[in-house]
Structure 1
Amino acid sequence: MAVSSMYFGQSGGKFTPNILLVSILGALAVPAGAVAQTAATSASGASSVATLQAIKAVTADDATSEGTGLYSVPVATSATRLPLSPRETPQTINVVTRTQMDDFRLNNATSLLSAVPGVFVQQVETDRNYYIIRGYDVTNFQIDGVGMPFSTEEQIGDLDMAFYDRVEVLKGANGLLSNTGNPSGTVNFIRKRPKREFSANAGLSYSSFATRRLDVDISSPLNSSGSVRGRLVGAYQKGNSHLDRYGLEKRMLGVIVDADLSDRTTLTLGHTYQRNKSKSPMWGFVALLYRR
């Protein structure tokens, strides 16, 4: 509605606008189409509401690699203890999954870390290895995120991988969440967890230099509801080497039990035993051979 004239009242010889009349005329001047559009919007407001995508929460259990057939995991926890994707993790991290270990027969820590980009493996002798990341020796080793005090490369070198689901290698300093040591990196060995359903498998292999290996893996619930479950993993390996007279015999046994105390709390107990017996090892010099 167009307004061509406005009424003014007189007060004290001066013209002042009648505020009430101006407000009424201003309201009437709103186009009728706008009012109709507002009413139509209100009537169809329910259909114009946008539907957001569902938000999926992730936990550390989503990082389990066993049985996925993948060489990667969606989240990792070694950097911040939070289940973050590699893109969200503020440091460089590499994950070696169970599938990659099985496909490439990465049966010990030395062979596994040799497959990680950016990790230099120095094999000094038959039973002594050093791992270097960014120019420093790696001194921080963990199992399930818990640091192993007084661990050295000699102890870790032939650590068997039969008991582990994946290995996360964090590059760079991680002083807030790991032991004190060199700012090289952190190697986190994450164990296999018991399953809620029964499963069992065994493997037998024969490779070069007459190396024989037997693996046994059994997982089972320990009660009817599956809230308490256990897993038993064992391995035996014996073989020779490209070096004359050198051989290695290795026995490993591990057990782990999970108990759900509540919907959000799980108690885990585990123990691992490994015994290596080397024949004619080298340590600082060439092995001596006595002949008569």
Structure 2
Amino acid sequence: MLYPTAIRPARMLGALLLSTLVLAGGTIVISQAASAQESAQSVEFSIPAGPLSQALMVWGRQAGVQISYLDAVTSGKSTSGLTGNLRPEQALARLLSGSGLHYSFSDPRSVVISGRSASAGMTAPDGSILLDTITLNASGAATEGSGSYATREASIARGAESLKDVPQSVTVVTRQAIEDQNLTTMEQTMARTPGIVATREATSAPAFYSRGFKINNYQIDGMGTAYESSFRPDFDMAIHDRAEVLRGAEGLFSGSGEPGGSVNLARKRPSERLQSSIVLSYGSWQNRRIEADIGGPLTRDGALRGRLVGAWQDRDFFYSPGDEKKHVLYGVLEYDLTPDTTVSAGVSYQRQKGNKWFLGLPTWDDFQLMDIDAAGR
């Protein structure tokens, strides 16, 4: 939409037209003037101090040059003004001095103001104007550091996808929820997931049910893994960023579909800055635990990053001689081959050794536990 102003006589044949063009990306202010003077010739300038946007309009009128810029680049900026006989380019450089803005002439009668470095070039060889580079940063489905119990994305559907685009019920237990609720094992995490029943089998291995069916499909970082054995471990959550649980038939996302659902454990990734933490805990029945985590860039440019996570736990149970010792170690490296390509390699190790009941504890016929000293006497 154009808003014409009154037409004033110019020094020579010509007219002045001020207009404002509203675009989706912002407001472009155009000040144009017709003049017989060439921009390379000196011009008598008299521009008062004040807002930079107004000074640029005055400069365009006095120089006889069309000037274009986004109003956002001049917002809040001012100039000390100038007076004297100068070439238009010299006067413009003085007005923009200290503002962080740059200019580029597409022809002797047109100039573009931008926050982009002049060395990057503002005009293509064909005369078209090059727009500023826009950089988008996305964290994908990672939840660590978000401080939130919710997320909009999940990688259980073969890559980071918006949850609203996955045609199944998906629950993501974020890193913040894992830490706040002290969920150290997958069993504890699954037990707090809506729609999931967490139990233990006769061999004390964890088992999970969804919609009446046992979950048999498991993924690590989106890749299928074998988890069906009589003595399968209960994955430790110290090394994981989040747990993603898909409920219902999931043949669209796995090689062989199951009616119960699928579980994806996403491991932690290296961070772009150095960070470290250590967590000590002590609980009932001599439950002692230590977690250590350190990671960050390994090269000056940050292209190579690494992370190392370890956990140690030694605990007893309310029955004797039940106990368990656990050692967990995880390491990962990431390297940016190109701005669009990152390769990563990681390895995790978990060892559990303990003495547990396989078939439960003896009870009376009313299901009350027998008062038995199982210490070996």
Q: Which amino acid is the alignment partner of residue 275 of structure 2?
A: S
Q: Return closer, same or farther for 1:250/1:51 CA change in 2, 3 Å cut-off.
A: same
Please tell me whether the aligned partners of residues 173 and 244 of structure 2 are also in contact (alpha carbons under 8 angstroms): yes
- TM-score normalised over the length of structure 1: 0.75
Greater relative CO, 1 or 2 (CA 8 Å, sep 6+): 1
Q: Determine the structure 2 residue equivalent to 1:11.
A: none
Please list the CA deviations of residues 170-193 of structure 1 after superposition, one character each: whole Å capped at 9, or x if unmatched. Answer: 112222332425221110000110
Q: Does 1:141 align with 2:218?
A: yes
Residues 217, 234 of structure 1: 8 Å contact kept: yes
> What code does the residue aligned with 1:140 have?
N
1:174 aligns with 2:250: yes
What is the rounded CA distance, in whole Å, between the counterparts of 1:110 and 1:245 in structure 2?
22
Whole-Å Cα distance in 1 between the matches of residues 342 and 228 of structure 2?
Answer: 27
Answering whether residue 269 of structure 2 is matched by residue 155 of structure 1, we say no
Task: Spell out the pairing of 1:1-292 with structure 2 (5 A cutoff).
Answer: 47=21, 49=23, 59=138, 61-79=139-157, 81-84=159-162, 86-125=163-202, 127-149=204-226, 151-152=228-229, 154-156=231-233, 158-279=234-355, 281-284=356-359, 291=376
CA distance in 2, matches of 1:212, 1:188: 28
Unaligned ranges ≥5, structure 1: 1-37
Secondary structure at the counterpart of residue 338 of structure 2: coil
Structure 1 residues 118 and 207: alpha-carbon distance in aligned structure 2, compared to 1, 3 A threshold: same
* Separation in 2, partners of 1:282, 1:94: 32
Q: Measure, in 1, the Cα distance between the counterparts of 2:280 and 2:376.
A: 37
Q: CA RMSD in A?
A: 3.0
Q: CA deviation at 1:234?
A: 0.3
Aligned AA for 1:98?
A: R
Equivalent residues of 1:255, 1:271 under 8 A apart: yes
Cα distance between partner residues in 2 of 1:172 and 1:78: 13
Deviation for aligned residue 1:92: 0.6
Question: Cα–Cα, structure 1 residues 45 and 173, in superposed 2: closer, same or farther, change >3 Å?
Answer: farther
TM normalised by structure 2 equals 0.59
Higher helix share: 1
In structure 2, the residue matched to 1:33 is: none
Instruction: Indicate if the aligned counterparts of 1:222 and 1:229 stay in contact, CA closer than 8 A.
Output: yes
Deviation larger for 230-239 or 181-190: 181-190
- Given that 1:62 and 1:74 are in contact with CA atoms closer than 8 Å, whether structure 2 keeps it comes out as no
Q: How many residues align?
A: 248
Identity of aligned residues (%): 33
Contact 2:269 2:332 in 1 (8 A): yes
Query: Displacement of 1:255 after TM fit?
Result: 0.4
Report the 3-state secondary structure (helix = DSSP H, G, I; strand = E; otherwise coil) of the residue aligned with 1:217: strand
Distance 1:103 1:97 in 2: 10
Structure 2: give runs of 5+ residues left out of the alignment.
Answer: 5-16, 27-133, 363-371
| Structure 1 pair 39–100 and aligned structure 2 pair: CA distance change class (3 A) | closer
> Is the CA contact (8 Å cut-off) linking 2:250 and 2:257 kept in structure 1?
no
Q: Flag the 1:291–1:238 CA change in 2: closer, same or farther, 3 A.
A: closer
Instruction: Say whether the 8 Å CA contact 2:140–2:160 is kept in structure 1.
Output: no
Provide Cα deviations, 1:2-54, integer angstroms capped at 9, x if missing partner.
xxxxxxxxxxxxxxxxxxxxxxxxxxxxxxxxxxxx999xx9996465558xx
SS at match of 2:232: helix
Q: What is the rounded CA distance, in whole Å, between the counterparts of 1:39 and 1:194 in structure 2?
A: 54
SS of match in other structure, 1:99: helix
Q: Distance in 1 between matches of 2:212 and 2:144?
A: 32
Give the SS at the match of 2:165.
Answer: coil
Q: Deviations over 1:69-90 (max 9, x none)?
A: 1101121221353421x33322
Change (3 A) 1:135 1:246: same
Q: Is the 8 A contact 2:195 2:210 kept in 1?
A: yes
Shift of 1:159: 0.8
